[in-house]
């Protein structure tokens, strides 16, 4: 009966379904209701904390972790959970001592060393990160995340013994798929560094196939969403909403494809004395999710459900959305600088939301040669958020949809978005940096040309690369793999050979 109270078993089943389907916000609501019924259940509170983190509600997730630790102060799982939440929220100062203590208390637990390595890598202590990852692999040679941690440093080079150890583990039929997946990417990097390109591609393909089997990504659904969004966001709509939204000028959104050079652009901007670099913030996606839930039954089957809700909102609601974003992101800003960078690449799909709710925000769209960018995404393991990246055809389709959608936004909001080509940034760094700063309304500062001297934490796979001066060597590296990239080229179509 509608409106009847649900029992704990029903709520638990519904929450499990929501988690498996990736509906994090829905899972949070269900688990909160369940926790009210069984407040003494540490297992439910643990699930609730994890769901909150997946939904981007880091502060709420931390509060739940603290409650778990208060109940069982010596519980290593809860301590590790808190450190993980702190790491994901960018609070490395607080995460580091928790992980160091866990490693001291449990020296042979590889997972704690891997997490420690992730923090050390992010704050620039690369040598210490290598030590942590290597110790984890020594204690547990099958620990795929330890090998992948070394690979994800990008500047690290595996030796012959490392290659042999990984190949021995991968030959074991009983190796869990999760470890096999991560180790495949690590072995691919080792083979690529040794110019064994056929073997490297086979390793990357094996890892991607394992991850693709765990996702429900649909290229057709992605195309439909963006096509419908383009129908909604018209020039007339933006003219009608002119002057609405929240007038904040501090956000600078850096968007685009993953592995296109957005971390480099972020590092350049964050080197400016007036700009703070944060991380890939999830607040825009969380706002989109909240709008999606507002849609009534009439929009239940729409491929652009939240965009339709957004387009129907009045001035007060749009202003409230923009203000919510600014308030939610304050927790990531610690320096008091007047501008900050939100480097979530997939925010390109929310360009309409940003334009309506934050009309004075800057949007920088970073582009890289489609073949180079596409293959770089394929060989990089993304734990979540980039489900299209595990199949070459999906990557090509996604890139085309992205380019088409951004071209539409250019037509309906001419001049609102700055496009930065990675290759041009490499070829003439100073000219492109000046152009970038001018667009953002910032005076030129030489520190932006010396971005590699910054000691700020960098969370992405390019962390070590942006701590070095710009180099040209990697621009055409993808061509070593060209014999195996036909599916990507075909899916890209004319974009595969961009004009000079």
Encode pLDDT of 380-390 as tens digits: 998 877 999 99
Q: For the packed helices 42-54 and 8-20, what is the interaxial angle rounded to 10 degrees?
A: 30
State both tokens at 153. Answer: 């440093």
Rounded alpha-carbon distances, angstroms, from residue 66 to 5, 52, 85: 29, 14, 11
Q: What is the pLDDT of residue 296?
A: 62
Segment 351-364, tens digit of pLDDT? 999 999 999 999 99
Q: Is the pLDDT of residue 194 over 80?
A: yes
Give the C-alpha separation, 375 to 377, whole Å: 5
Give the C-alpha separation, 229 to 307, whole Å: 6
Q: Is the pLDDT of residue 124 over 90?
A: no
**297 exposure class (CB count in 10 Å sphere: 0-12, 13-18, 19+):** exposed
Q: What is the pLDDT of residue 297?
A: 55
Q: Is the pLDDT of residue 419 over 90?
A: yes
Give the C-alpha separation, 449 to 431, whole Å: 10
Q: Is the pLDDT of residue 76 over 90?
A: yes
Q: What is the pLDDT of residue 298?
A: 52
Q: What is the pLDDT of residue 89?
A: 80
Q: What is the pLDDT of residue 168?
A: 96
Structural domains in the chain, CATH included, are: 141-214 (no CATH), 219-496 (3.40.50.300)
Q: What is the pLDDT of residue 463?
A: 45
Segment 208-264, tens digit of pLDDT? 999 999 888 999 999 999 999 999 999 999 999 999 999 999 999 999 999 999 989
- What SS3 class is residue 455? coil
Q: What is the pLDDT of residue 245?
A: 96
Looking up tokens 């925010």 gives 347
**Mean of the pLDDT values across residues 74-97?**
92
Q: Centre a 10 Å sphere on the Cβ of residue 291 and count the other Cβ atoms it contains.
A: 19
Q: What is the pLDDT of residue 266?
A: 94
Q: What is the pLDDT of residue 58?
A: 82
Confidence (pTM): 0.86
Segment 137-185, tens digit of pLDDT? 999 999 999 999 999 988 899 999 999 999 999 999 999 999 999 999 9
Confidence band for 85, pLDDT divided at 50, 70 and 90 = very high
State both tokens at 121. Answer: 């890598």
Radius of gyration over every alpha carbon of the chain, rounded to an integer in angstroms: 23
CA atoms within 13 A on the CB side of 170: 21
Give the C-alpha separation, 363 to 444, whole Å: 19
Q: Which of 69, 85, 86 is nearest to 77 (CA)?
A: 69
Element (H, E) at 399: helix 392-412
Confidence band for 442, pLDDT divided at 50, 70 and 90 = very high
The dihedral built from the CA positions of residue 319, 322, 328 and 332, taken in this order, carries a sign that is negative
Q: For the packed helices 110-122 and 76-88, what is the interaxial angle rounded to 10 degrees?
A: 20
The percentage of the chain sitting over the pLDDT mark of 70, rounded to a whole number, equals: 92
Element (H, E) at 61: helix 58-71
Q: Is the pLDDT of residue 1 over 50?
A: no
């Amino acid at each position: 009966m509608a409106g009847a109270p649900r029992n704990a078993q029903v709520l638990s089943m519904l929450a499990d379904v929501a988690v498996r389907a990736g509906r994090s916000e829905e899972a949070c609501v269900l688990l909160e209701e369940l926790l009210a019924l069984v407040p003494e259940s540490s297992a439910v509170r643990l699930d609730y904390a994890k769901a909150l983190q997946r939904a981007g509600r880091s502060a709420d997730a931390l509060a739940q972790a603290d409650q778990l630790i208060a109940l069982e102060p010596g519980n290593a799982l809860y301590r590790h959970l808190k450190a993980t939440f702190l790491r994901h929220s960018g609070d490395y100062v607080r995460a580091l001592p928790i992980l160091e203590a866990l490693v001291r208390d449990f020296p042979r637990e590889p997972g704690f060393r891997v997490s420690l390595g992730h923090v050390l890598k992010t704050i620039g202590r690369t040598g210490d990160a290598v030590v942590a990852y290597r110790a984890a692999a020594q204690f547990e040679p099958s620990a795929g995340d330890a090998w992948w941690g070394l690979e994800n440093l990008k500047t690290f080079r595996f030796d012959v013994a490392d290659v042999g150890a990984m190949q021995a583990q991968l030959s074991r039929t009983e190796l869990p798929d999760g470890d096999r997946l991560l180790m495949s990417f690590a072995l691919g990097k080792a083979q690529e560094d040794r110019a064994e390109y056929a073997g490297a591609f086979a390793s990357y393909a094996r890892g991607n196939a394992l991850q693709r089997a765990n996702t429900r990504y649909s290229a057709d659904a992605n195309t439909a969403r963006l096509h419908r969004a383009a129908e909604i966001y018209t020039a007339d709509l933006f003219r009608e909403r002119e002057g609405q939204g929240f007038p904040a000028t501090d956000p600078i959104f850096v968007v685009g494809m993953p592995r296109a050079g957005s971390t480099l652009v972020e590092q350049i901007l964050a080197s400016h004395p007036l700009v703070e670099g944060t991380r890939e913030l999830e607040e825009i996606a969380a706002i989109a999710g909240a709008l999606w839930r507002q849609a009534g039954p009439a929009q239940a089957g729409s491929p652009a459900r939240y965009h339709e809700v957004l387009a129907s909102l009045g001035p007060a609601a749009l202003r409230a959305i923009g203000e919510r974003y600014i308030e939610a992101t304050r927790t990531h800003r610690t320096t008091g600088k007047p501008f900050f960078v939100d480097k979530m690449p997939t925010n390109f799909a929310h360009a309409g939301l940003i334009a309506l709710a934050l009309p004075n925000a800057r949007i920088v769209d970073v582009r890289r040669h489609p073949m180079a960018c596409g293959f770089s995404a394929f060989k990089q393991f993304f734990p979540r958020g980039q489900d299209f990246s595990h199949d070459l055809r999906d990557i090509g389709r996604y890139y085309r949809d992205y380019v088409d959608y951004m071209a539409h936004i250019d037509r309906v909001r001419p001049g609102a978005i700055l496009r930065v080509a990675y290759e041009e940034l490499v070829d003439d760094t100073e000219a492109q940096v000046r152009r970038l700063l001018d667009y953002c309304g910032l005076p030129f500062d030489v520190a932006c040309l010396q971005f590699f001297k910054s000691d700020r934490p960098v969370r992405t796979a390019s962390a070590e690369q942006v701590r070095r001066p710009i180099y040209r060597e990697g621009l055409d590296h993808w061509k070593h793999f060209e014999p195996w990239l036909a599916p990507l080229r075909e899916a890209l179509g004319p974009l595969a050979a961009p004009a000079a």
